[in-house]
Amino acid sequence: MRLSLFAVPLALLALLALSSPLQAAECPALLAGQGELPKLRSKDRIDLCERFAGKPLMVVNTASFCGFTSQFEGLEALNQRYREQGLEMLGVPSDSFKQESDDAEETAKVCYVSYGVTFTMSETQPVTGGDAIPLFKELARQSAAPRWNFFKYVVDRQGQVIARFSSMTKPDDPELIAAIEKAIASTP
């Protein structure tokens, strides 16, 4: 049997078309609704599905000029402690509570220079109310909207919030650590 030159490319296109919905289905609503976020002080973008789907995740809304900003140190310690076990962390600077700089360079300096953050940080985004980005709208739908800066969400591998913690919860809190370990143990 002889195939035409067009039969093979058409068959490949059909397979690709069938596989795309499957790949999209693997990305939970928490991540799929957002798409991409601009990475802090970079031309790169963070594709949330590509980067975080199927992984345990902690999302924190941050601010550079908040009484809780020193939590960056503890968050980075968590990142170092659990990244080899698959934990991903996403920091989302926000001026929703009027404590973030309008200057991305200043925000980056606080994160990267002052606190040595190595986990993923986005550019400043709104995290509350009608202006909240889709990621935070879904976090609020699943649990609650952040009430202040450094509100922490622990998400399992299926994209479900399994715990949320207030700004008062320090990164070394045993309940937060237990939630992180539960997210790491979850199955995709």
Query: What does residue 46 show for φ and ψ, rounded to 5 degrees?
Result: -100, 110
Q: Is 45 helix (H, G, I), strand (E, B) or coil?
A: strand
Q: Residue written as tokens 């980005």?
A: 133
What torsion do the CA atoms of 164, 165, 170, 176 make, to the nearest 10 degrees? Answer: -40
Among this protein's residues, is 66 annotated catalytic? yes
Q: Which of 27, 49, 66, 111 is catalytic?
A: 66
What torsion do the CA atoms of 155, 160, 163, 169 make, to the nearest 10 degrees? Answer: 40
Q: Are 132 and 126 in contact (CB under 8 A)?
A: yes
- Both tokens of 94, joined, read 């926000």
Q: Are 86 and 56 in contact (CB under 8 A)?
A: yes
Q: How far apart are CA 96 and CA 114, in angstroms?
A: 22
Which of 153, 154, 149, 155 lies closest to 168, judged by CA? 149
> Which residues are catalytic, by number?
66
